[in-house]
Structure 1
Amino acid sequence: MDEHGRFSTGWIIAIYGSAAVLSIAAAMHGLTDGKELWVLAGLVTLVLTLTTLPVCLAARSSGNEEKDQSIELDRIRTQIRSLNDTMNTLNETIVLSDDARRVLNRRKERDLLCKAIEEDIQLEDWDAGLVLVRELAERFGYRVDAEQFRARIERARAQTHDKAVHEAIAGLEGMIASHEWEQALNEAARISRVFHEAPQVDGLRHRVISARDRYKQNIERRFLQAAQNEEIEEAMSLLREMDHLLSEHEAEQFQEVARGVIGKARDNLGVQFKMAVHDKAWDDAASVGERIIEEFPNSRMASEVRDIIDEIRGRANTMKR
């Protein structure tokens, strides 16, 4: 300082230069470690340094000793001391080791870690949550909190797993109820692969096969009963379902009955067709004729119907006008 108690120009430049260097160092440290607070602190200090330096130098170069000038110099000296204190604090923070900073920020980091664990629980990201739990226990020493979180995660994971298993099995039961046997077998295999550790999935394939066998037996019994009772329409409907359900070997025992049912169904349709034509009920005749062609395409009756079906359709359309 000079005889008036003012900092010399060299001191001012040295102080402001050091402040600028430390500000830049703090900002670079923040950018490197991804800490926005450090970047902000460095930039603010740098801006403050660059904006007050010209004012300070101008005031220093002025020889005016008036009262206003003295007040201004006092204010500048106060700013310089404040800047110097800030610079010292920033310097001390920069030279702190990672472990020392962790001790200072321990409570804050614990709160952030707990919040992250809560978010993982909400997102059902169990493995990520357990990694953070280990961090909480081993790195920060909060073992009681860590065990509480671990218990919550394990309990929530078990509940979610059980719910998923029950929903999958419910979907499988729906396929069984809808007689979607092929899809049910594929779904049973998928559930067994995905939830192989769950005891509820044991025997799912056997459950599907048993349900399918019971259904086949019921269809076969109903078919034989309908054929015996001369319920030809019902027997034909069941026969079509059996055609998709039974293997060739399984269907052999029903071939004779099936031939009789098919013959009677064809004859019945033939009678209905002839009666409709005789009564000039052209709509009915066209409908029955189309059934004959569709259900018995290779029969002689179907060939005869094809020869006259266009004429019958034309008459049916004429009657509608």
Structure 2
Amino acid sequence: MARQNSSLTWVFFLILVLALAVFGVGVLLAAQARGWEMLAAGGIAVVLVLGLWALSLSVQNAHQHALRRLEDAVSPVHERLQQISVLLNLISEQQLISERAKSVAFREKDLEAIRRAVREDIARQDWEAALVLVSDIETAFGYRQEAQRLREEIEGYRSEQVRREVDNAVALIDRYCREEQWNQAWREAERLGRLFPDDPQVQGLPRDIEARRQGFKKHLLDSWQEAVAAHDVDGSIEILKKLDLYLTPSEAESMQDTARRVFKDKMQSLGQQFTLAVKNRQWAEAVQIGETLIRDFPNALMSREVAARLPLLRQRMNEPQAAGV
């Protein structure tokens, strides 16, 4: 602003010098009676220059005064803005610190929440979900050792649960085998195989069941041979009924002759018992033996003969004398 005022002063000074020069020339011309025009022009120029210079100085003074007033008015605002700027910077720094503190606090809360969720998944035996959360602990929070420890713990719980379930199923399969419920035993083994396909004990269950089945079959065959050798007709038939579930077609064919002989002996034994009961007038017993004979040997000639006699035997069985009245 000072340089601008100095420039204006020099401009007006030069113009004033020129106006005075014109005025001086006008004075000389007027003194020589050569005309008053130059003198008038010079006088007017001097007056205009002085007037404009004075006006310019007045405007400059007013402008400077206004600037000083504006500076006086703006200075407190500027200082206040500087104070506000400093305060905002301080608040920003504190906010940043607060956000970091919150982040640390929330990080701890999130970590504790994940740890609780892992425990809940373990309690529910949801091993896959628990392992996913453990991976979050490692990747999101960087706790590799804790994640590894939790994985080992989860694997231990899972192995224990698998072993307990396998042991219970094996006990059930053992009961099925002892009760000769082989189909149920195989179905249970298949179920375990779908649940735990990599477990060695589970993989061997079908083989173990078949081995026990074959062992039981061998025991029945040995008992059959012993009963036949001892002429235990009833025992032989009972064993043969059980063997029917185990024999292959070729094995059954090889036993047909012996089985026919056993059943023939059984039929003859029933026939003898029937005859003896009729002879002793034991009508109820005779009817019971006759019905058994007909049921077990429906196509035999002896059965047809007994069936023809049963109506009379039932009639006698129902007579008062037969009842001992």
TM range (shorter): 0.5 to 0.7
AA in 2 matched with 1:145 = E
Change (3 A) 1:158 1:264: same
TM-score, normalization: structure 1? 0.63
Distance 1:225 1:298 in 2: 29
In the TM superposition, what is the alpha-carbon distance from 1:311 to its structure 2 partner? 4.5
Aligned equivalent of 2:121 = 120
Aligned equivalent of 2:258 = 257
In the TM superposition, what is the alpha-carbon distance from 1:112 to its structure 2 partner? 2.1
Change (3 A) 1:313 1:253: same
Distance 1:215 1:239 in 2: 13
In the TM superposition, what is the alpha-carbon distance from 1:320 to its structure 2 partner? 8.9
Distance 1:195 1:147 in 2: 24
Aligned equivalent of 2:281 = 280
In the TM superposition, what is the alpha-carbon distance from 1:267 to its structure 2 partner? 0.4
Aligned equivalent of 2:80 = none
Aligned equivalent of 1:179 = 180
Change (3 A) 1:170 1:320: farther
AA in 2 matched with 1:159 = E
In the TM superposition, what is the alpha-carbon distance from 1:101 to its structure 2 partner? 5.6
Aligned equivalent of 1:248 = 249
Unaligned runs of 5+ in 2: 1-94
Distance 2:217 2:188 in 1: 20
Distance 1:185 1:145 in 2: 42
- Within a 5 Å distance, the mapping from 1:132-281 to structure 2 comes to 132-281=133-282
- Within a 5 Å distance, the mapping from 1:50-61 to structure 2 comes to none
Distance 1:219 1:198 in 2: 33
In the TM superposition, what is the alpha-carbon distance from 1:104 to its structure 2 partner? 3.8
Instruction: For residue 297 of structure 1, give the secondary structure of its aligned residue in structure 2.
Output: coil
Q: Deviations over 1:129-187 (max 9, x none)?
A: 11111222222334443333222111101111122222222222222222223333343
Q: Deviations over 1:255-311 (max 9, x none)?
A: 111111111100000111121222222332222122112211111222223334345
Percent identity of equivalent pairs: 32
Instruction: For residue 244 of structure 1, give the secondary structure of its aligned residue in structure 2.
Output: coil
Bigger relative contact order (CA 8 A; separation at least 6): 1
In the TM superposition, what is the alpha-carbon distance from 1:245 to its structure 2 partner? 2.0
Distance 1:122 1:316 in 2: 71
Change (3 A) 1:145 1:317: farther
In the TM superposition, what is the alpha-carbon distance from 1:234 to its structure 2 partner? 0.8
Change (3 A) 1:102 1:235: same
Q: Deviations over 1:187-206 (max 9, x none)?
A: 33443343221111343333
Q: Deviations over 1:208-267 (max 9, x none)?
A: 222222222222222222122221111111122222321221112221111111111000
RMSD: 2.8
Change (3 A) 1:127 1:293: same
Change (3 A) 1:129 1:102: farther
Distance 1:194 1:310 in 2: 62
Unaligned runs of 5+ in 1: 1-92
Distance 1:102 1:164 in 2: 44
TM-score, normalization: structure 2? 0.62
Q: Deviations over 1:45-74 (max 9, x none)?
A: xxxxxxxxxxxxxxxxxxxxxxxxxxxxxx
AA in 2 matched with 1:221 = D
In the TM superposition, what is the alpha-carbon distance from 1:100 to its structure 2 partner? 8.2
Instruction: For residue 245 of structure 1, give the secondary structure of its aligned residue in structure 2.
Output: coil
Q: Are 2:292 and 1:291 aligned?
A: yes
Change (3 A) 1:131 1:315: farther
Distance 1:114 1:314 in 2: 86
